[in-house]
Each structure stands twice: as C-alpha cells, then as structure tokens.
Structure 1
C-alpha cells in the first residue's frame, strides 16, 4: 500500500512515517509539505491512502480532497487536525473521508486505522486494478487525440469519431490562465473542478491544449445547462485559484471539422476579453512597470509595450495596473508627464517646445492642448502665473522685519 502524508509540520510527517515503517514495513510512505506537492505526488505516484492535515498555507486539506477525489476515485482519505470543531469533521465525512483524527495522534489509533484500511484497500485493488487501468488509458488516449485535433495537428490516420460518438452536438469551453509563474497546481484545479461540473451538467470531458489553456467538450442536458455550468465554473475557480483566468465559450457545434478553427478563434478573442478574476499578487509586476514608466516617460509609451516588459497579457496588465494604482495606464502616464512639465516650467528657462519633447510630446501643439485641458492654463500662462507667485512670495519675505 502506498500512503501519502500531507502536513506542513515536519515533526508530524516524520512521526507518522516512523510509526508506519516500524509496524508496517511492507507499506511505502511518501511525504508532502503542502497541497501543491501533494498534487504532484498524486499525479506521479500510485497512491492508495492520503493522510492530510486540515489547515495548511495556500489550500486546506479538505479543499485538496474535494478537488482530487473525482480524478483519483480509488484513493482513501483520512483527515488529521489539531482542531476539534464539528464543522471540520462534518465536512470531512461529507467529502467521503474514512476517518477524522485529532492531533496528537495516538500510535495505537494510527496502527489500528492503517491495518483496517490496508485490508480494505488490498481487496479493492484486486477487484479494480485492471478495470481502472483500462478506463484511465482510454480516457487519456481520448483526451490526447482530441487535444491534438483541436490544436490543428495531424492525427496520423486516427479516426476521431469513436471518441465523440456520444456527442452529436457539443460546445467548447476554454479556460485560459494568466500567470508569469508555474501553473501546474492551477491546471490541476481547473481540470478537476471542470470535469466534476461537466459530469453533473451533462456529458463531456476536459483536455489540456497548452501550459495555460484547458478545453472542455460539453454536451449539456436541458435548456440553459451550458450557462449554468459556466456560472458554476467561474464561481468555483474564483474560490480556488490565485491566478487570473478567462472563460470562453463557443456556439453549438455539430461538425468536428470545425473544432480547430473554433479553437483558433477563441484563442484570438481572448486577447480582447476581460479577466474573470484578478490575481492576489501582481504587485511586483506593476512595480517593475512603474519603474520603467518613470525612467522612460520621455519616450513613446504604449500599454502593449509596457505589458511586454513584465511578460503579461495587455488586457490583464491594464486591469491589474488600474487595480494597483487607482489610475488607468494612459491617465497615469499623462499625469506623470504633466507633473514633470510643470516642474520644468516653474524651475527652468527651457522653451516650451523643449519641455514638450522632454516629457514625451514631440508635437508642442498637442502638448499645449493636453496641458490646458488638465490645468486650465497654457504652458506659457502657467509659467507666468507660477513666476508671479514666486515673485510675490519673495517680496513678502523681503518686506518682513
């Protein structure tokens, strides 16, 4: 039996591992310090039993269990916590946990539990091993073939019809993630949540078409089923993801030959669609962008150019920039340029045309129009007004006894 122990406290992980090795040397134990590591191990290892802590950074053990149980249906779960609130136990049971243990865990309690679950898992494995292997291989084959087709690649003579014969019509639903970091965990979350919702809304499947995009083929049951599925998907992903995302949908499709073109259209339209969710981070990207703007405000600056500097989609960068600064990109750059222009008008004798070029406006007439619109003065009027103000202040200072 392969046992995965998920706990952010190394003392707890090591203690459970020692106890199991001492009394059940035939069992293999793997350790994860957080849910993200657990996700990777569940994908890489043939895990039979998961012992998971409840409260951990990033994601709770119950959330890990909830998003994992559909794709890893054979895995048994035991929830461990130092908190005895009934709500945790109730939720663990609802999700199908075999047991709920409180820290510190007594050795005898742990030994008895491993012994009982070991027998149960051994019996189930004998019955289900071949069936699960066949089902899993067919699923991955179907998804891999469809992903290749959706991406416009040659299938090498494979007939796609048997893979989609239960879908005389369908919709495509694409989820695109936006992040400048690794999205393996987010990918896993989307795949599991999406698959579960499709199962409850009709029939279909989900496949990955690149590192940041997943595509669902959905045949909803009943009127309005697709809209309900998308609303639920958006709601769940906002809850679980820390990464911004988009959800794009196709019209009804009944001809498989149209899939590659529709996928291309969805990818292209994503560049102009707002994001369903903001990232909880992003401060670093915006700060880098602000530093670049302050250093290059005298040059031509576009939203697309600055977004490329921080490796973000322009639509998402625009939303994130306004969220973090309180101003739109163009508004922020204009404000910065005019502030600098006012400084130069007050404190230097440069000509207005020279100042215009220094703050990023090669056309002095355009500069004067923007300046007047924002301040109520032309640049010359502002300089005169600012100079008069300084003269009055100087005279007043001189007149003081």
Structure 2
C-alpha cells in the first residue's frame, strides 16, 4: 500500500478527496489530513508518506511553497487547483510537480492520476535496480544522500554520526569526504541549511520567530537570532520586513503601480 497525506484548508474538500481516493480501489492508504502545507510537511517527516495531494491555495503555507520545500524529498506531490488558479499551479513544475487535479475532483480523474503516479514509481524502481551497483540504492551520490538526510531532519539535532549511519559510513571518513566534495565542514553546512529554511519560513508563513527557531531545533531564540544575523547580516524580523517590502514593491512595478 502506498501512503498518502491530504492537505486542504477546507474540510469538505478533504472529504471529497478522501472518497475519490478510496473509490479508486487502488492500493493507497490515507495516513492523515492536514489544513495547510506546513502541517503536511510535519506529517510527512513523522509518517514517511509516499505522496501528498494538496490544494494550491491554503493559509500559512500554500501548495506552491509546499512544492518548493519538497523539491529535494523522496515523496511526490500532486496539486489540486480550480480553473482560476490553474496557471499558478503550473508554476510548480520547476519544483518537480508533474500532475494536477482540477476541482471538482471526480473519482475517475483521481484514479487516472494515481494510476499514472504508480506507473512512474514502478519505472523508477526498475531503473534504480539497473543503476544499483554503480550509484547506490537511492540512485544518488553519497553526499547527495547526506544532503537529503539533513534536509529531512532540520527540526532535530543532526549529528555527523547520524548522517554517517544513514549512508553506512564511518563518521570520520564522511567528514573528510564531505569537506572534499563540498569545500566546507558538515556542521557549517547544517547551520547554513537551517538558516536557509528559516528564510523560507519567514517569507512564506506567518509563524513567529520563536516558532521558527523551535521548528529548526533551537531552544534558545537569542542564539538562533544571533546565528541568523551572523550569516544574513540582519535579524530574522529585519529580514522578514525587508524582503516582504521588496516583494510588494516588485509586484507593484509588474502591475504598473507606483
């Protein structure tokens, strides 16, 4: 059974999606339902689902931001959109989204979409068997696997030993390999990725700075803010205000407004 997470801020839409999946009679099991993309990401890390079916427009984190967050993850994303925001959904192609469902979602459309997704997964498995002796079970280089491990565990204390264990290497050897191939230290890379994630959450969600710090494994908000400022040149709040003003200004120019 493939595992699915449903994400939509409207409960009745989630009910429709659930029924469509169940009535498709395909080997899919809905693990949980979420009200926004942020909840879906949390559920994905906890449950290890194979697929998220998400609406495009949601509060806190919408489907496009969710697609961006999932770009380097193993799980797939299918977006649900209305005719009025279909063009917006198409922008998610650059983040790896390859299929859409138009509202209202009918059982036949859901079944067809899930069937195509299943065929794609089977094709990937066959391809990985061919490449297994050369590039590893995930079809990725060792360092790329480590990067994905880090990206999937930013909310917890990530140690070199944990990362080494995930790719079946000695920690000392991984440390040397990581520096050789990336030009930097493992611990510095983890901090940089956390700060990049913090930037995304500052811009794409309404979470408070303390909540973002907690999500990224920092119990001390002062330490988090100081680390952010050291790497970004400004505090988290200053970054959020400046970037939001910049985006709004760019939108104004694009629409001909002053």
Per-residue CA deviation, residues 340-387 of structure 1 (Å, 9 max, x unaligned), is xxxxxxxxxxxxxxxxxxxxxxxxxxxxxxxxxxxxxxxxxxxxxxxx
1:244 aligns with 2:246: no
- State how far apart, in whole Å, the 2-side matches of 1:32 and 1:269 are: 29
Larger RCO (alpha carbons 8 Å, 6+ apart): 2
Is 1:100 aligned to 2:100, yes or no?
yes
Q: Per-residue displacement from partner, 1:65-104 (whole Å, max 9, x unpaired)?
A: 101221x1x3222111224345413312222211122211
Distance 1:65 1:111, change over 3 A: same
Matches within 5 A, 1:221-370: 236=200, 238-240=202-204, 242-244=207-209, 267=223, 270=226, 275-277=235-237
Whether 1:165 and 2:176 are equivalent positions in the alignment is yes
Instruction: Give 1 or 2: higher helix fraction.
Output: 2
Distance 1:39 1:2, change over 3 A: same
| 1:268 Cα deviation from its structure 2 partner | 11
1:243–1:277 Cα contact (<8 Å) kept: no
Q: Does the CA-based 8 Å contact 1:244-1:275 persist in structure 2?
A: no
Q: Counterparts of 1:118 and 1:279 in 2: how far apart (Å)?
A: 42
TM-score under structure 1 length normalisation: 0.40
- Structure 1 residue 62, shift from structure 2 partner: 0.8
CA contact (8 A) 1:243 1:279 kept: no
Task: Assess, with a 3 A threshold, how the Cα gap between structure 1 residues 161 and 41 changes in structure 2: closer, same or farther.
Answer: same
CA distance in 2, matches of 1:139, 1:125: 20
Give the equivalent residue in structure 2 for 1:91.
91
Structure 2 CA distance for aligned equivalents of residues 54 and 109 of structure 1 = 17
| Range 163-172 or range 54-63, more displaced | 163-172
Instruction: State the Cα distance separating 1:164 from its structure 2 match.
Output: 1.7
**8 Å contact kept, 1:84–1:102:** no
Which of the pair has more CA radius of gyration? Answer: 1
Within 5 A, what are the aligned runs for 1:124-135? 124-125=124-125, 128=128, 131-132=137-138, 135=145
Q: For the residues of structure 2 that align with 1:57 and 1:268, how far apart are their CA atoms? A: 25
The residue aligned with 1:385 is none
Contact 2:20 2:105 in 1 (8 A): no
Runs of 4+ in structure 1 over 6 Å off: none
Counterpart for residue 59 of structure 1: 61
TM-score by length of 2: 0.60
Once the two structures are TM-superposed, the CA of residue 160 in structure 1 deviates from its matched residue by 4.3
Alignment map for 1:4-153 (pairs within 5 Å): 4-24=5-25, 26-30=27-31, 31-70=33-72, 72=73, 74-85=74-85, 87-125=87-125, 128=128, 131-132=137-138, 135=145, 139=149, 143-145=158-160
- Secondary structure class of the residue paired with 1:277: helix
Question: What whole-Å deviation, never above 9, does each CA across 1:76-133 have from its counterpart, x for those lacking one?
Answer: 2211122434541331222221112221123221111111212222342465598239
Q: For 1:2, what is the secondary structure of its paired residue?
A: strand
Q: CA deviation at 1:165?
A: 0.9
> What are structure 2's unaligned runs of at least 5 residues?
130-135, 164-168, 211-221, 241-258
The number of aligned residues is: 197
Query: By how many angstroms is 1:61 displaced?
Result: 0.8
User: Structure 1 residues 162 and 11, CA, compared in 2 at 3 Å: closer, same or farther?
Assistant: same
Offset at 1:34?
Answer: 2.0
Cα root mean square deviation, aligned:
4.2
Say whether the 8 Å CA contact 1:55–1:61 is kept in structure 2.
yes
Distance in 2 (alpha carbons) for counterparts of 1:275 and 1:105: 44
Alpha-carbon distance between aligned partners in 2 of 1:268 and 1:49, rounded to the nearest angstrom: 32
